[in-house]
Amino acid sequence: MPFPQVVGVTASSPADRAGLTAGDEIRSLNGKVPRDIIEYRLLSDEASVDLEIVRGGLAMEITIEKPAGVPLGAEVSSALFDQIRTCDNHCEFCFIYQLPKKMRRSLYVKDDDYRLSFLYGNFTTLTRFTEIDLERVVTERLSPLYVSIHATDPDIRARMLRNRRGATSLRWLRALLDYKIEVHGQVVVCPGINDGWIFADTLGGVLERFPELASVGVVPLGVSRFSTEPAMREHSVEEANRIIDIVEEFQETFLSCLGRRMVYASDEYYLIAGRPFPDLVEYDEFAQHENGIGMARLFEETFEGRSSNTEAVRGGFFASIDGAPALGYRAPTTIRSAPAQRVGRANEVNSPGVTVITGLYGSKVLTPILDRAGLADIEVLVVDNRFFGGNISVAGLLTGEDIGRTLDGRDPSRRYLLPDVCLSEGRFLDGATPGELPVHVEVVEATGASLARALGYRQMNRAPRVRVS
């Protein structure tokens, strides 16, 4: 990987005052060549920073004087400056193996790098983790980290990862917890592989071996039409109900033993099972919001004005490191400037009609919310994900191709609202842009409060909803 290249400089920052500009290539800081943005931040935190740069092919030296701990104010081109540690597992449920050809190259990078886990919340299996890695994590307090567990039984975990080191790599999880590193876990449940009693055994293993885990997210297997694994299939309604039952049983156990729920089932399980989402308080701190856990309930509560808790989860897992570029689905969505918002009921908005674009799961969340708000005249347009097929039904994986096909021939005088989770740096997964769609769309931040404002819905700041059992 190349040396870090400056792609942006904050106005009036120490870097700006010292003359650092976009395009400069940073060769060293205080005589050291940083391996990644983490080391870059530690070196640049010094009060005096000597930079060796290359500008237009010419080597230069710049010294930046500033208070210790004050960021340089320079964004660089990548998070890692050495080689990304790629994943050597061959999981049959891996979604990267289910991607079609000719998509953006970055989507095919299969990483298992603890640094990207710290920076962006990517889940690592720890099969390539080493003593040197542990020493660095502990010394530099790289916390939180995110670890894929899947199963605590060694043989089942090795089978799922198709890697014999999968049977032993959770020893590193124990070591991280021993050194007080905050770790969040994940279990991807594959029907017939690690569900049922095996899933219950996994949660029991978590309680016995890893009770210090901050949270454990339970998510269902995603299967696209490009999957070549015959054993991989979507959950049935009965299987989804059983997973929820096990999770809720263990939540009570964890509450009794540890004083916290720890384990949470993803929203998708409740949608598959047709069950109501848990109350807002049952998601605690929304530790795995970006993993699809608690999104729907928080969306409902913020739309109806019962909660303003949006900033706490908007950044999701991303740990703020000065200069680190956003990557993948955490990249900027490039939201267009919205027209002046109108406050009032939907029938007071002088518009030929409003259509909200979403996927199948999004429609199941949105429709009852709009009905309760008296906004039944708002059209919820479901886009069938033919691009990926299978059971892929979330709005974040919609492509320009499918959205364009669904909007073809639609009334251009209507307002079409598109959630920003469909975009990364202004583009859909297939590389298309909103400007290529057959009708104009307004890109709206995918929060309940933002959609309410876009629809002109007056929030009532009601008390939180509490379900009585």
- Tens-digit pLDDT profile for residues 432-443: 999 999 999 999
Which domains does the chain show, CATH number per domain? 6-76 (2.30.42.10), 96-325 (3.80.30), 346-455 (no CATH)
Three-class secondary structure of residue 408 per DSSP = coil
Distances (CA, A) of 436 to 248, 274, 337, 421: 45, 36, 17, 17
User: Band of the pLDDT at 290, cuts 50, 70, 90?
Assistant: confident
What confidence score (pLDDT) does residue 169 get? 96
Tell me the pLDDT tens digit for each residue of 55-92. 999 999 999 999 998 989 998 988 899 888 889 999 99
CB contact at 8 A, 346 and 456? yes
What confidence score (pLDDT) does residue 464 get? 47
What confidence score (pLDDT) does residue 334 get? 60
Q: From CA 350, how far away is CA 2, in angstroms rounded?
A: 54
What confidence score (pLDDT) does residue 369 get? 95
Element (H, E) at 443: strand 442-444
Per DSSP (E only), the strands in 36-117 are: 48-55, 58-65, 74-76
Q: Which residue has the tokens 């009905």?
A: 371
Question: pTM of the prediction?
Answer: 0.88
Work out the percent of the chain whose per-residue pLDDT is above 90.
71
Q: From CA 173, how far away is CA 144, in angstroms rounded?
A: 12
CB contact at 8 A, 15 and 74? yes
Tell me the pLDDT tens digit for each residue of 231-241. 999 999 999 99
Q: From CA 384, how far away is CA 403, in angstroms rounded?
A: 8
Average pLDDT of the chain is 88
CB atoms within 10 A of CB 17: 14
More confident of the two residues 1 and 364: 364
User: Band of the pLDDT at 44, cuts 50, 70, 90?
Assistant: very high
Query: Within 13 Å of residue 349, how many CA atoms lie on the same side as its CB?
Result: 23
- Choose the weakest-confidence range: 178-182, 233-237, 309-313: 309-313
What confidence score (pLDDT) does residue 314 get? 44
Per DSSP (E only), the strands in 235-296 are: 263-265
Residue 104 has pLDDT above 80, yes or no: no
User: Band of the pLDDT at 114, cuts 50, 70, 90?
Assistant: very high
**pLDDT average, residue stretch 298-307:** 88
